[in-house]
């Protein structure tokens, strides 16, 4: 449909999570350029085409792991060769496993672990296809919440009556910040590096533009982070606190404001509940410990005088308090969110343009975008007959501890006994913690099936691998609910090898299991695109706009929705008229102390914001330990496109770069460009040293996303490429949300002096044709 390979077209577009592009072909070769009007195009996109045409990392044909095919082995995942099979045989094997597990153990034993970020298109969304298919054959156990912000997803409904999505969609607009904010106190910074992406695609990147405009208009910025680079403004003040102590710092600020009588009692009385319970904790009535600036200084390593000065500035200036998503991905991650909202309530400026509390500015592109919110339709997933779930970051616990109890959002659950794991459109060996533990857990299920276009660590640890197309190889529609532009995504390159779309894979499986009619509803891929566009036209009509018909849209390639500008003030209606616009909380207001959470009696998440020591932190570290800061990378999205030229160009001797303070490097005999060993009792990895005075001396920064490459080196097994998740803790941040605590980890470093092993993950695993396997029973 639409574009034919080799044809010349005037305008052809495609999109990804990191941006939208115009595609052209010259002499048979495709190229991409950011769409016109994107002032800050993503660095990530420069490596997209090359990564998707790399024959060493793309998967060409269906394969089955040799040991599983011969004897249903589960222990050699990640170390075994694969056998090429036909599409029919691969589909027959997978369909047989779905039927066997469902009939023998029940469909709750099928874990559909697919996680997002696979495609910016509305139709070719791997997770939706997987869930839709499994729902036609009896359902599955799924995952709840996200690695990005699980603590917020569970906590914010209790505090604000809004889901995390709704809360962030209603965030005060950047235009208000640029015009009205005098002081931005940014916990975790506001980074253009993380603002490159959006879960449903993005047309342009304007966070840096808005931020620059705000600074030009006089906004002062305080970057509260262990790294100076976490904020875009070169003139920003840097408050380099110890990692994971944001809550203690906020408590010290709150104590100073309260002690001086500068808190807005009228606002607290009218718009919040639980203030007295919290202030008793703040002043030490409850536990005998006043959370004064001096108390906070000992914890967060920021001078008490600085804390008092910042508190005074926050009272005297129009102040916006923001948290990045990363701040809550830590032990007790609920607490900084809760305390940040409480601190903003004390200032009494919530509900006013440019002030109050924000969560996620700069974490992705759309947060704060001054546009209307239009909920475009997506592929229906159907109804899941299985009601079992696990919190998203508890995969290894589920596999290692079937039947054991855990708490989640006030209820007690049991981990299911997962016999079949199916992953489509994701890579847990990128985003999960303690990867060596996950490797052991990964050997427990009877079968692992993966849909993937590239040889990720997860694909290498599968029993059945279906090669699927990338977004560049199929037609789709980009429609982000917070973006004024709709794009028809034409295929830019031919499907690699024998790759098929996820929809084609699941259609073939549904046919074998007798549910094709329910899965496809009689539609092929183009018919589904027409169906979704037809529903989009109805959605647009309800929003007061007219979309063209499907063929007109496809021919144009782009439609810019009119009248999409819309400025938002978070909590504006509630603050102006709280009685008429109560929040959907237990009190109708912002709950500074929450009775429901208190009734859960969780020792790691009490009923009001509190300082609780993390499992690992610099306040209880040995002299030679450093705090690991594992933020998002600049040249790729998570682990996506790591084999591409942009990501690989940043490597040091083929290893992921890590950032150290020069004084820290000198103490450890490390020079710029050296390879270092980073280790703790969970694991170890190699990385290349980069020196900077923009990081605390007791920290080391290693971005996520280097493809997991464990090898036995110098007598020990370690990741030779630089994946920080061999070092992070795999435990829930609290009994409330069970979110990830990836940013809570201590490590030691040393200069690597042994032989430097070659990187193996950018080479394909052993794949042997079926007919050449000798001595087998298949």
Residues recognised as catalytic:
115, 117
310/256 Cα distance (integer angstroms): 10
Q: Do residues 50 and 644 lie in contact, with contact meaning Cβ atoms separated by under 8 Å?
A: yes
636/648 Cα distance (integer angstroms): 10
Q: Do residues 337 and 155 lie in contact, with contact meaning Cβ atoms separated by under 8 Å?
A: yes
Following DSSP, what letter does each residue of 437-483 receive, concatenated?
HHHHHTTSSSEEEEEESB--HHHHT-SEEEEB--GGGS-EEEE-TT-
Following DSSP, what letter does each residue of 16-64 receive, concatenated?
ETTEEEEEEEETTEEEEEEPTT-SS--SGGGGHHHHHT-TTTB--S-EE
Q: Please report how many Cα atoms fall inside a 13 Å half-sphere around the Cα of residue 59, on the Cβ side.
A: 31
Neighbours of 252 (CB within 10 A): 30
DSSP β-ladder status, 183-187 and 220-224? parallel
> What ranges in 121-173 are assigned the alpha helix state H?
126-136, 150-160, 164-169
CA distances from 106 to 91, 101, 240, 416, 509 (A): 21, 7, 52, 11, 18
Q: Which residues pair with 478 in a beta bridge?
A: 487
Instruction: Give the three-state DSSP class for 678.
Output: strand
705/639 Cα distance (integer angstroms): 4
628/497 Cα distance (integer angstroms): 40
Neighbours of 358 (CB within 10 A): 27
Residue 580's region, left for phi above 0, alpha for psi from -120 to 50, else beta, is alpha
Tell me the torsion sign for CA atoms 663, 758, 441, 116: positive
Beta strand residue intervals within 611-726, DSSP E = 626-629, 657-660, 675-679, 684-691, 699-702, 710-713, 716-719
Of 142, 137, 66, the closest CA to residue 100 belongs to 137
Question: Could you tell me the two tokens for 482?
Answer: 């917070």
Residue listed under structure tokens 């647009």 = 540
343/26 Cα distance (integer angstroms): 57
Taking the mean position of all CA atoms in its chain, how far away is CA 229? 20
- Length in residues, the chain: 778
Helix (H) or strand (E) holding 315: helix 304-316
Q: Do residues 553 and 533 lie in contact, with contact meaning Cβ atoms separated by under 8 Å?
A: yes
Neighbours of 241 (CB within 10 A): 23
Beta strand residue intervals within 462-578, DSSP E = 464-467, 476-479, 485-489, 558-560
Question: Could you tell me the two tokens for 134?
Answer: 């499994």
How far does the chain reach from its first CA to its final CA, in angstroms?
A: 39
Question: Could you tell me the two tokens for 668?
Answer: 């450890």
DSSP β-ladder status, 420-424 and 447-452? parallel
Tell me the torsion sign for CA atoms 187, 191, 194, 200: positive
Helix (H) or strand (E) holding 15: strand 13-16
Instruction: Give the three-state DSSP class for 668.
Output: coil
């Amino acid at each position: 449909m639409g574009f034919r390979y080799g044809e010349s077209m005037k305008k052809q577009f495609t999109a990804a999570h990191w941006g939208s592009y115009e595609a052209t072909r010259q002499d048979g070769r495709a190229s991409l350029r950011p769409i016109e009007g994107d002032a800050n195009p993503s660095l990530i996109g420069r490596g997209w085409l090359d990564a998707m045409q790399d024959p060493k990392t793309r998967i060409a044909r269906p394969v089955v792991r040799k040991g599983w095919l011969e004897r249903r082995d589960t222990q050699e995942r990640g170390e075994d060769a694969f056998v090429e099979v036909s599409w029919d045989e691969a589909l027959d094997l997978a369909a047989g496993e779905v039927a066997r597990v469902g009939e023998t153990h029940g469909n709750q034993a099928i874990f559909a672990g697919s996680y997002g970020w696979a495609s910016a298109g509305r139709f070719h969304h791997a997770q939706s296809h997987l869930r839709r298919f499994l729902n036609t054959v009896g359902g599955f156990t799924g995952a709840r919440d996200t690695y990005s912000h699980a603590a917020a997803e569970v906590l914010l409904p209790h505090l604000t009556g809004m889901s995390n999505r709704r809360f962030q969609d209603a965030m005060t607009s950047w235009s208000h910040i640029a015009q009205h904010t005098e002081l931005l106190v940014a916990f975790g910074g506001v980074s253009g590096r993380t603002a490159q992406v959006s879960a449903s695609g993005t047309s342009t990147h304007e966070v840096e533009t808005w931020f620059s405009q705000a600074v030009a208009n006089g906004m002062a910025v305080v970057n509260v982070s262990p790294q100076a680079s976490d904020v875009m403004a070169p003139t920003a003040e840097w408050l380099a606190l110890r990692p994971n102590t944001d809550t203690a710092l906020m408590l010290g600020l709150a104590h100073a404001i309260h002690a001086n009588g500068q808190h807005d009692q009228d606002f607290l009385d009218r718009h919040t509940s639980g203030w007295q319970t919290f202030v008793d904790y703040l002043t030490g009535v409850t536990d005998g410990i006043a959370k004064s600036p001096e108390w906070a200084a000992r914890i967060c390593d920021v001078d008490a005088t600085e804390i008092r000065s910042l508190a005074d500035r926050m009272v005297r200036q129009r102040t916006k308090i923001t948290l990045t998503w990363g701040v809550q991905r830590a032990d007790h991650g609920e607490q900084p969110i809760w305390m940040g909202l409480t601190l903003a309530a004390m200032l009494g400026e919530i509900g006013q343009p440019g002030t109050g509390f924000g969560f996620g500015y700069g974490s992705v592109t759309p947060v704060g975008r001054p546009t209307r919110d239009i909920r475009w339709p997506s592929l229906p997933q159907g109804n899941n007959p299985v009601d079992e779930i696990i919190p998203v970051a508890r995969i290894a616990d589920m596999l290692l501890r079937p039947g054991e109890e855990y708490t989640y959002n006030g209820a007690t659950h049991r981990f299911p006994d997962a016999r079949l794991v199916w992953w489509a459109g994701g890579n847990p060996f990128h985003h999960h913690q303690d990867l060596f533990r996950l490797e052991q857990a990964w050997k427990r299920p009877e079968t692992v099936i993966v849909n993937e276009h590239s040889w990720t660590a997860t694909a290498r640890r599968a029993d059945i691998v279906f090669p699927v197309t990338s977004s560049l190889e199929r037609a789709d529609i980009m429609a982000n609910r917070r973006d004024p532009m709709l794009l028809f995504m034409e295929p830019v390159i031919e499907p690699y090898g024998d790759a098929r779309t996820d929809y084609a894979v699941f259609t073939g499986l549904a046919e074998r299991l007798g549910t094709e009619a329910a899965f496809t509803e009689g539609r092929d891929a183009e018919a589904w695109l027409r169906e979704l566009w037809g529903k989009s036209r109805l959605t647009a009509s309800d929003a007061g706009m007219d979309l063209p018909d499907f063929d007109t849209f496809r021919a144009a390639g782009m439609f810019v929705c009119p009248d999409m500008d819309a400025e938002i003030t978070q909590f504006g209606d509630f603050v102006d008229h709280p009685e008429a616009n109560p929040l959907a909380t237990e009190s109708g207001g912002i709950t500074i102390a929450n009775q429901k959470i208190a009734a859960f009696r969780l020792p790691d998440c009490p009923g009001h914001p509190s300082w609780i020591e993390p499992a690992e932190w610099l306040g209880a570290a040995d002299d030679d330990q450093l705090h690991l800061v594992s933020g998002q990378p600049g040249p790729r999205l998570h682990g996506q496109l790591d084999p591409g030229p942009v990501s690989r160009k940043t490597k040091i001797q083929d290893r992921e770069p890590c950032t150290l303070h020069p004084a820290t490097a000198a103490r450890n005999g490390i020079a710029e460009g050296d390879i270092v060993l980073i280790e703790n009792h969970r694991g170890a990895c190699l990385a290349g040293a980069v020196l900077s005075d923009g990081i605390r001396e007791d920290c080391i920064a290693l971005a996520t996303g280097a493809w997991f490459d464990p090898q036995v080196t110098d007598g020990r097994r370690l990741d030779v490429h630089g994946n920080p998740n061999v070092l992070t803790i795999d435990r829930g941040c609290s009994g409330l949300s069970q979110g990830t605590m990836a940013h809570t980890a201590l490590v030691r470093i040393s200069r690597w002096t042994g032989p430097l092993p070659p990187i193996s993950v950018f080479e394909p695993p052993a794949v042997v044709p079926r007919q050449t396997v000798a001595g087998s029973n298949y």
